[in-house]
Chain A
Amino acid sequence: MPINNTSTHIKLACLLVTTVLYSTSAHADEDLEQKGYEIAARSDRTDRGFSDSTVKLSMVLRNAAGKESSRSLEMKTYEVQDENVGDKSLVVFDSPRDIKGTALLSHAQILDPDDQWLFLPALKRVKRISSTNKSGPFVGSEFAFEDFTANELNKYSYRWLRNEDCGDLTCDVIERYPRYENSGYTKQISWIDQTDLQIRKLDFYDRKDTLLKTLTFKDYREYDGIWRSHHFSMQNHQTGKSTKLSYSDYKFKNGLTENDFVKGILKRVR
């Protein structure tokens, strides 16, 4: 009986301890997720109210041997207020010259695949394309399609990891996990500074959960409360290739409307 009693007590104690431990860790997990989400949301909301933007991009692709190739393009973005619907964007290539005038129109969704149309100037043809190809390379660069289109807050779930110095600033380090289908990543780790709430660095982990790429954001400038990095640098750790993106001539609130982002206008973009 006493033996039995003891064992019952031990069992009970064990159960109690496990339950307590389990619930505290579950609770802590939820807290970290909540904290991660909140910081990401605060960072995302610093971008609110830009209405629309136009910017010129120059892209330099560099292979492992150091050989370089460049592209230039223009990007227009239209802000959709609803957080449950993505923004609209239009990318038009200027060089290499053989693809000049090629344009990609995207209507981003949150969890559903984006709607995308491609304009091919040689035939003046507009083609609706599959947006399943999230992880494929964008124009031969180290950027995947999803690196451009998946910057909506609710495309990820989050988990706060730690505080860490990042240059002169202190950053919240937050893991984020794609919630949309067909991502090439199991997770990304983001560094968001606590001063301006901007993302400073992103690590991408591939489907085998090994570190694939690092994207660093430099040269942040403020436009009426809207922050924009003017220099993105993507380093692929597995192939040694890299891609640099330089932004110039940012213009906001140009009075663009949804009608500047319909497929019918693709045939006249230059």
Chain B
Amino acid sequence: MSDKYLILLLLILSLAIQTALGEIDFSGFTRYEARWFPNSAQFDDQFHGVQNSLTIEPEWVIEDDDHQFSFIPFARIDSRADDRTHADIREAYWLYIQDTWELLIGFNREFWGVTESRHLVNVLNQIDQVENIDEEDYLGQTMINLSLQKDFGRFSFYVLPLFRERTYAGHDGRLRSALIVDEDEAEYDSSAEEWHTDLAFRYSHYFGDWDFGASYFYGTGREPILRANSDGSKLIPHYDIINQFGLDLQYTYKEWLWKFESIVREGQGDTFAATIFGFEYTFFQFRNSDADFGVLIEHLYDNRDKTDAPVTALENDIFLGTRYTFNDIQDTSLLAGAIFDLEDESYSMRLEAERRIGDSFKVEGQLFTNAREDSLASAFKKDDFIQFSISKYF
């Protein structure tokens, strides 16, 4: 009985919102994905063979001239790995829009930066690592975000309550470390733990061919240090309070995009810096076809503390990538990227292909192979995979 009233109430409410603010724009996608690991697993309990999963990410947007409401929930159901079956609120916000300023309250995703191989300055959202290890999936972050648009650039201020923990594969999952990360026992520098309110600021603008951004973050860093517990049976994530300055720069000249990102982080052992510098060059209408062929090279450098900072595999590496865009009606594209460790000369590589089928389906293929020898990536040495997915967009 009360359920009926609730549904009726929601119906009336949504009708009222719809009348007041215009139409609800509904879209999103659902995706079937199959991931095949041809090698036997390295660790006990990990599954072998094929992992099937279903993803759904609907999107509701209501807007008028001054307001925008967005709601994007996300869920994945995985056939083999328990911790990959998860849900999140990617976005759920109210945005108030004026000519020279905007105010956003709610869950949102913010992307900062320009480089392709690693997103150094992109610090607000936690990485949803069970989704993929390429660090391009992010959890929604609660925020109050005020942005001011001036003639000389955009100033964005963020208050970020409620910290989100990084997601990790569980004992049955592939692409995990030898020891499982126990998210339930996470430790924090702050006595407020995940309730610590973080602060951030970003200024961004462009002058002619130069685009740049400068950012500052204070609060619980999104990247934890993983330490084995006393009996060495699992890893406990520890989240530090950090101060981080970030800078991103792009110079766009003819077929060249020159890119630079840098951070300085304080709060995890000795203050350290990390940089990415590189370019993307595109041969437009490659060999007189409609296709574009891009070449990407980036150098990654990171001089973080070896004991008191989270381990990174990208201390001195080169990323080589190529992008082939057919510019056909189906938006077919191919992407190949490899990261070479300049110190031990090992590498990991990824190939991706995608194509639209008809008007609303998309197929994607991915191949990942890893021959890296550093302690972090060698945990994945048996985790080469081939992935296929088909998505229906609505």
Binding site for B on A (CB under 8 A): 61, 63, 69-70, 95-101, 113, 115, 123-130, 132-133, 135-137, 139-140, 257, 259, 262-265, 267-268, 270
Give the distance to chain A from B142, nearest Cβ to Cβ, in Å.
16
A13 to B217, CA, bound (A): 84
Pairwise interchain contact B393-A98, C-beta atoms closer than 8 A: yes
Given contacts A97-B393, A124-B109, contact A264 B206 (CB under 8 A): no
Pairwise interchain contact A130-B257, C-beta atoms closer than 8 A: yes
Q: Mark B171-196, 1 if CB is under 8 A from A, else 0.
A: 00000000000000000000000000
Interface of B is mostly: strand
Pairwise interchain contact A128-B206, C-beta atoms closer than 8 A: yes
Q: Mark B200-223, 1 if CB is under 8 A from A, else 0.
A: 000010101001000000000000
A26 to B208, CA, bound (A): 39
Contacts of B102 in A (CB 8 A): 268
Contacts of A126 in B (CB 8 A): 111
Residue of A nearest to B25 (CB): A270
Pairwise interchain contact B359-A69, C-beta atoms closer than 8 A: yes
Contacts of B324 in A (CB 8 A): none
For the complex with contacts A124-B109, A127-B114, A128-B257, 4 further pairs of A-B residues with Cβ separation under 8 Å are: A61-B329, A69-B329, A97-B27, A263-B204
Given contacts A124-B110, A259-B149, A262-B154, contact A137 B100 (CB under 8 A): no
A130 to B292, CA, bound (A): 12
Interface of A is mostly: mixed
Measured as residues with beta carbon below 8 angstroms from the partner, the interface class of chain B is 35 or more
A97 to B356, CA, bound (A): 10
Contacts of B356 in A (CB 8 A): 96, 98
| Inter-chain residue pair count (beta carbon < 8 A) | 102
A122 to B252, CA, bound (A): 23
Contacts of A125 in B (CB 8 A): 111
B21 within 8 A of A: no
B47-55, B282-290, B336-344, B380-388: which lies at the interface: B282-290
A263 to B109, CA, bound (A): 17
Q: Please pick, from B252, B256, B327, B393, the residue contacting A136 in the complex, using a CB distance under 8 A.
A: B327
Contacts of B250 in A (CB 8 A): 128
Give the distance to chain B from A107, nearest Cβ to Cβ, in Å.
10
Contacts of B149 in A (CB 8 A): 259, 262, 264-265
Pairwise interchain contact A270-B63, C-beta atoms closer than 8 A: yes
Could you give 16 example pairs across A and B, Cβ below 8 Å?
A: A61-B329, A70-B359, A96-B356, A96-B359, A101-B27, A124-B110, A126-B111, A130-B252, A130-B256, A130-B282, A130-B284, A135-B285, A259-B99, A268-B95, A268-B97, A270-B25
Pairwise interchain contact A95-B359, C-beta atoms closer than 8 A: yes
Pairwise interchain contact B111-A124, C-beta atoms closer than 8 A: yes
A97 to B282, CA, bound (A): 27
